[in-house]
Structures are given as structure tokens and as C-alpha cells.
Chain A
Amino acid sequence: MVEQQTKQVFTTGEVARVCKVSQQTVIRCFDSGKLQGFRVPGSRFRRIPRDALMRFMKENQIPLDQLDSGKKRVLVVDDDEAIVDMFSDLLARDGRFEIATAKTGYEAGIITEKFRPDIILLDFKLPDINGNAVCRTIRANPTYEHIKIIILSGVADPEEVEELQSSGIDDFIRKPFDIKIVIARMTELLSMN
């Protein structure tokens, strides 16, 4: 289940399970062009990308439960393990969020592509690149346009804060913080209320 929620490419048998129809129906739809996909080069095996499947299910009013849990996906990026653990506990306890974590800017990029988070809680001072650079990279990709970014940092220099705010973030919260304020800002940005 969880696997299907993060899977990017599906076989016809997997699509039949997600959509709760027969495999033959899926093959017919694929062959008629109703379900977009491709064949594996050198064979006749059919493959359907996640986006095409989502589109097909929405068009045919098939419930998305099997693909989407309904929880908001949160990527927590911080090199401080205690911070990451604290957020994991906090957000798990809240119950409305799915969580992925990264310790470096590079790792954050890879996980963003796989996990497709709805919101990123980003530390400013990372071991490889700074948070504002990560932010700029994500903002440069239109696919990730919908992702909300909150920077959480212990920096006190007003000039640095100003610079961060101009790099395309949605909010800046100074550490240490009030957890109620952090959750409030997240739900607000994700229109969860």
C-alpha cells in the first residue's frame, strides 16, 4: 500500500488492483489510448506512469484511496538529528502528516523528487549548501510549484533573514519556536483548515 503511494511506474496488473478492475479491462483501455503509457523497449510489456494513472482515475471517477493516503507529505531537512527526531515525533503525534527526512541539501533534492512533499521544513545552515540555495533549486522546477517551504533557523542576523525571505520561501520561523505556531503556519499554507 505504502509502496503504491510512492510508486512512480505501474504494471497493468498493479493498475487493475489500484482501480479494482480486471487486468483485461486495463489492457483494453491502454490499447484504446484511454490510459496513457508505454511498452518496455524490446518486449510487449505495458507500463503506466503515476501521473497518467492519476489522470485516468480522476477522469473515470475512480476513488484515489489506493494511491493517496489523504495525509499531507512533509519533508523535514536538518543536519541536526535531534531536530529531525523532534519533528518526526511531533508530526506523527499530530496524525495529519506523512513524513520524510533529509540531512543535506543534496539529499533533500532527491527525496523531493521521490516523495513529492506538500511542504518542506528547511534548516538554513546545512552541511553542503545553504537552505536558500535548496529553495531556489526547487522553485526553478515548475513541477514543484505547489510545494510550500518554511525555513526554520537559529540565525539572528537581520540581513541574512531578509536575504532568505527574498529567495522564494513561504515563511521564516526562528529557532527556538512555539510548536503550536509551526503547526498553525503549516496547516495554513496547506489549506488544511
Chain B
Amino acid sequence: MFACVESQHEQSAPGRERVALVLGHLDQLPTLPGVVGRLLQVTSSEESSADDVVNIIKSDASMTAAVLRLVQRADLGLHGKAMTVAQAVTLVGFRTLRNALLSSQFCSVFADDSDNTEAADARCELWKHSLAVGCASAMIAERGQGGRWVDEAFVCGLLHDIGKIALDACLPKSYALVVKQTERRDECICDVERETFGLDHTAAGKHLTTRWGLPECIVECAWLHHQDPNTLPSSVTSVDLIRIVHLADNLVRRERIGYSGYQYVADLSESAKALGLDSHDIDSITEALPDRVKSFCAMVGADGLFDSVMDTEALIAANRQLADINDRLARDNRDLEIRSSYFSALEQFIKQAPPQGGIADVCAAAAQALAQLVKSRRAMGVWTEPATECMHLGAVDLTDGRIDTLVVALTNGDVAESKNAAVDGADASWCCPAGSGLIEAPITIESIWRRCFSDGFDERLWLLPLRLGNGAPGGIIVEGSPATVGKLSGSTEECELLATAIAGTLAATHQRIATGRMSEELLDHNRRWQAAQKQLVRVRSIAMVAKMAAGAAHELNNPLAVISARAQMIVASCDDGETKSSLEIMLDQTQRASAIVMELMHFAKPPQPQPILRRLGDALESLCQHWRGVSSIGADRMKLMVVDPAATVFVDPIQLREVLDAVMANTLDATSPETAIVKINSPSHASDETVRIVIEDNGVGMTPKVLEHAIDPFYSSRPAGRGRGLGLSRAHRLVALNGGRLRLDSRPGKGTTVRIEFPARAPGS
């Protein structure tokens, strides 16, 4: 308050003018009747006697009448008997009499004769408040000060808000605004008064009481009753009285007796303790206060004015309930506001979380929702996935709208450090007791934070663990000030709800991705299964061919043997050349039929390869020479090119030749002898693990359909009777038996390229 007073001294010129104007108004207030002043002085003096008081009262007729009325009302058992002033003073005690007189005189000084009911009601409330503070002060002094200062306490309490009454009397419209504004802004009335008038009611009270020449203790109480009594300077003489009035003022405000313009209640316990009172004393005073006020009102003839005070008890109880309801509503409002912020965050998360996004995207959406909840600029979501050993990070920076998503593997190489971080996180950070809401992040979280925000953090890191079942596979980390987070921490239930919703969404996302992955795997397995089935069908059909060939060899060879032998027998005894010739044709055909059966058998059950290591160049050279001779295509058109003559091949040499012969036979079938260009290349080097043979021709080529079936047994694109379609099929089978691979590439009209691969050396060498 001293600060307030001093600040008034430092006011600007217009401020000072305003104060002077207000003080001028105050000075125009009617002074207390001189008799009241004298009475106050006499009763305050140690040396005065009852006679002095009686004389002063007798000097004023109206006061004499007032005293006698007062005594009559006080129900002193006189029952209408006549009484002198001296008797009244003796009977009531001159200090009590003074207090009563003072009260009634004040009442008349500030009586409002206007028609403004609202203002009159407000003034009435303020008067009730003053009276109650007077009574309460007296009661506190009775209990706390061993009976000292009782009367002084009453007077000081009664007049503590004299400044308010004065300001209201001088500037009623402005003061009504002050009261309304105080209610709206829920601030201390002094601040609003200073804003409006340039000075508050304590300063006005000091000015008025000084001007009226009232005792020092009244001046000090009117001036300093809002000040913390513990901080008063030593120059103040009435510290105890100020303390009493301060306590009484707050007590009455708490009990809501009357209305002093605002409802703020300071902590009572400190002041009570300083006055030697405990909570029981305060409770007793509180309980007795309404009766005390009631009887006092009766005594000063303010029954009419204080009708409502007569029902104080009920009113106080109602007021208290109302206040409780108000407090509760205010609390609920605050809670609802926090809850609503959680639900907004949840709504935002649901809107932001991409329905088809990855886990890191959902983490980022969760981080964004929490950042806005905590009013922070940066946050990140973390989710670990033990099955895939991955940690998903989604970070947002609202200052530049940056969203980072990151997936870190937890198993190998450069991730060892992050694995430690994640393990630390999982062990020490995510798993905190359920229901703890937003907690301060453990130090281990920092390394995870720095993965996305290398510059660290400004204030503190907070963690919202995301629980799933018994574990907590992740959390949302957000930076923020303790003040902002503190406001939210009361609502842990909503906090957990938000965390559960986020964890649920993350788990669902994980499930969706896992299901998608499983579908892909299923598709892949299906594809491989189909390929295996195809292969199985192929193997089975070859096995069936083998079985059939074996049966056919026996079944066909018997009749062939009979035909052949009978023919031979006839030939031997036949002299007719024509018949002999026909019989010899029959013999040839039986041999041919038998050869077909043998070939089938050979295809179905080829002999096991006996691989040896030999130079590939030699094999190709011999092949070329043979086929140049067979086809009469010269070296200029049947070209051999071996890149590295030292390159070796590890195969069964007979089967290698069989393969190459089959390919060459096909090549020459597909080309015209006059225009054929056949290139036989081996681009491999001696150091290669696999050797390659490429045989390329410029023949008719194959259509995609023919190419697809080119290696199927018995498939031949040649006219019926020109081939059994086993050449390429058998070559393919022999290459596979020797651990190699045969591929065909062909385009109609452009020619065919056959690529064959074989192991360059024995396995393990």
C-alpha cells in the first residue's frame, strides 16, 4: 500500500489534477457534528470521566433524545421508566454509548436522500459491512488481546471503509462503475479505484479522518487496513489494531455480511496467529458474529435499515452455499476448459492421422496434436515395433510447418546407438505407472529427441507414454514450459484417454500394415507355389514319359522283333528282287521305330552326368568344325569367338556335346544355308565362376507362343513327321543336370539367341 501511495506521488500532472479534484469533493462533505467530535475525543481520553460525557450529550438536545431512545431500545429492563442521561451513561457504559452514537451519527451523515434505489441498496450493504467489521473487530480484540482495545477496535472497524463511503457519497456514479468493474475483472477494488480516481479508498479515508481530527488509530486503520500487517513500517503506531481490522474485514467478507464492493478473501490464518487466535477462536467468532451484529443494530435503532441483518444467519448460510456453488462452478469451468482442450487435441489427431499412412505418419499426427495442446512449437511421436525391430519417429515443427518421418532399424550396424536409445526408452521411459498423464521426460529420451531436432530443446521435454496392453511401446515427446504443462496435468483421465486413442490408432495402423505385408507375402508364396506346381507338372509329365517309354520299349520292340525276324527269314529264302527290296524297307522302318523308342527312353531317363574339367574353347572349336562340315557354312558365316581360351567348363563332355548339337541342329533348321550367319561366342574369363556360351543366328526366329513352348517335350513348330520335338527339351534337361541354365531369346524374322551357362569348375574348388 505504501507502494501505492508512493506511486500516487509519482503520478503524471493530469493524474495529480484528478486527485486534487477528488480531494476537493471530499472536503465538501459535511463534517461530523461538533458534538460527535468532542464525544470521540472525550471517550478516547484516559482522563475523562462519565460526567464529561454526560455534559457533552446534554449540550445537544438531539443527542440527548438519541441516547434516551437508544437506552429504551437496548432492552435494559427499564420497561418505559423515565431516565436521565447520567443514568443512561452509567447503565450502558459511556464507551458503548459512544459507539452507538457514533454509528447512528455516521449513518445520518452519509444518509442518501436520492431516489436511486440501486445506489441506496449498495450503500446499505456497505454500511452493513462496516458495522459487521466493527463488531468483529471488537470480538477479535476481546479474545485475542485480553480485552484490550475492544472499543477502539470497534470504532476502527466501523470506520475502516470510511474512504469508500466518502468516495461513493462524493462521486456516486463513478463509484458504482468502480464496483461493477471490480466484479467483472475480479480484481482488488483498490486497483480499480486508483485507475478511476487516481487514489483509492484507503487514501481517501486517511484524508477524511485526518481532516475530521479523528484519533490516530482510526486514521491508520482507515489508511492501512489492506496492507499486510507484517510489512508495516515502524512509524505506524496501531499495528495491533490494523491487524485486528484486517482480520475482521476479511472475516466479514468471507461470511458475506454486507457487501464492500468486492469479495476477495485473504488468508486469515497468518493474521489470526499473530493475534494469538487459533482456528477454534475464529470459528467461535464467526458463529457469534451474526448475533452480535443483530443486537448492535437493535441498539442503534437500525432495525429497519438492517432488516436483512436480522436474518443474517440464514442469509450467511445461503450466501455461503452460493459461494460454494460459485467456486465449484468456476472450478468445473476450468476443468471443462482443460478437458475440452484434450478433446480438441483428440479431434485434431483423428483429422490429421492419414488413414492409409505409415506408423511414422500417425506418430507425426499425434505429435502435432500434442504440440497444439501444450502450445509448443515442436513435438515428436515414437513407436517401437518389436516384430520388425523398427522404431518409427514422426516429428513436427509448427514454426515452419516441417513434418519429418523416420524409421530406424534396431538391429544392425549404424543403428546400435539408436537401439540403445530405444532400449533405454523402452525400459526407463515409456514404462511409467499407468495414469500418470504427461510426465517430465527422463534423460534417456533426449537422444531420441535429438534424432529429429539436433539443436536440442528450449525449455523442458515432456512425455506422454502410449500404453498397449501391459507394455508401452512408445510415447509422444513435446517441449514446453512447466507452467503450461502444469495447467494440463490436473486432467490425467483425459490425458490417458488421448494416449489410449493414439496408441490404439498406432496399433491399428501396425495391424493394417502387417495385414498388407502378409497379403503381399501370400501373393508371392502363391506365385512361387504356382511356379513349383508348373515345375512339378513338368517333372511328372517327364516321369510319365519315362514310364511310358519303358513300357513302350518292351511292348513295341516285341512285335517289331517278330516283324523284323519274319522279314529277314523271307528275305533269306526269296529270289524275287522286288519283294526283297520291299522287305528290306520294312526292316529299315522297324529299326527306325525302335530308334524312336530308344530316344524317348533316353530323354525320359538320361544317364547321370560324369563331369570333368576341360577347356571350353576346345569343345567349341570341335563343335564348329563338325557343324561347318555338316552344313557347308564356312568360317566366314559360322563365326567362333572365345574371349579367354583359358576359360574352363565343368560338365559331362558327352552331354555338353549333345546339348550343343541339339542347339546347332535347331539353329540350322531355322536358317537358310545360303544366308545363315551363326555366331558362337564365349564371353567368359578364366576367373569367372560361370562360363557362358552364346549361339546366335539370323534365322526365322520364333513367335512368343512358340518361344513359350520351345523347351516342352514333343513340341515342334516344324511340319508333322519332321521331328519329335525333343532336341531343345533334352538340351534344357541335360544343361540342368549339369548344374547350368539355358535361356532362349527370339524374335520372328530377326533370329534366335541361345544363352547357356555352366559351372566353370568343380564345386568347392
Q: List the interface of chain A (C-beta within 8 A of B).
A: 80, 82-83, 86, 89-90, 93, 125, 152-158, 174-180
Contact = CB atoms under 8 A, between A and B. Distances in A.
Mostly helix, strand, loop or mixed at chain B's interface?
helix
Given A152-B561, A158-B607, A175-B558, 19 more contacts: A80-B562, A83-B561, A125-B554, A154-B557, A154-B560, A154-B597, A155-B553, A155-B554, A156-B549, A156-B550, A156-B598, A157-B601, A174-B557, A175-B561, A176-B563, A176-B590, A177-B564, A177-B565, A178-B564
Contacts of B555: 154
B225 to A, nearest CB: 124
Nearest to B549: A156
Contacts of B597: 154, 156
A82 B569 contact: no
Contacts of A177: 561, 564-565
A89 B565 CA distance: 11
B568 A175 contact: no
Contacts of A154: 553-558, 560-561, 597
A179 B568 contact: yes
A-B pairs, 7 with minimum CB distance: A154-B557, A175-B561, A176-B564, A176-B561, A156-B601, A156-B553, A175-B557
B491 interface: no
A86 B565 contact: yes
Contacts of A152: 561
A157 B607 CA distance: 9
25 contacts: A80-B558, A80-B562, A82-B559, A86-B561, A86-B566, A89-B569, A90-B565, A93-B569, A152-B561, A153-B554, A154-B557, A154-B560, A155-B550, A156-B550, A157-B553, A157-B601, A174-B557, A175-B560, A176-B557, A176-B561, A176-B591, A177-B561, A178-B564, A179-B565, A180-B568
Nearest to A174: B557
B747 interface: no
A178 B561 CA distance: 9
Interface in B502-559: 549-550, 553-559
Nearest to A84: B562
A180 B587 CA distance: 14
B594 interface: yes
Contacts of A156: 549-550, 553, 557, 597-598, 601-602
Interface of B: 549-550, 553-566, 568-569, 572, 590-591, 594, 597-598, 601-602, 605, 607
A116 B597 CA distance: 36
B486 to A, nearest CB: 90
A176 B554 contact: no
Contact of B605 (A153, A157, A178): A157
A158 B550 CA distance: 11
Contact of A176 (B549, B550, B565): B565
A177 B594 CA distance: 10
B552 to A, nearest CB: 9
Nearest to A175: B561
A157 B550 contact: yes
B562 A82 contact: yes
B257 to A, nearest CB: 122
B675 to A, nearest CB: 40
Contacts of A89: 569
Which has the most chain A C-beta neighbours within 10 Å: B559, B561, B563, B569?
A: B561
A83 B558 contact: yes
A176 B561 CA distance: 4
A158 B605 CA distance: 10
A90 B562 CA distance: 11
A93 B563 CA distance: 17
B569 A176 contact: no
Given A155-B554, A156-B598, A178 B549 contact: no
Contacts of B553: 154-157
Contact of B562 (A86, A153, A158, A178): A86
A152 B601 CA distance: 18
B605 A176 contact: no
B604 to A, nearest CB: 10
A64 B205 CA distance: 175
Nearest to A87: B565
A153 B556 CA distance: 11
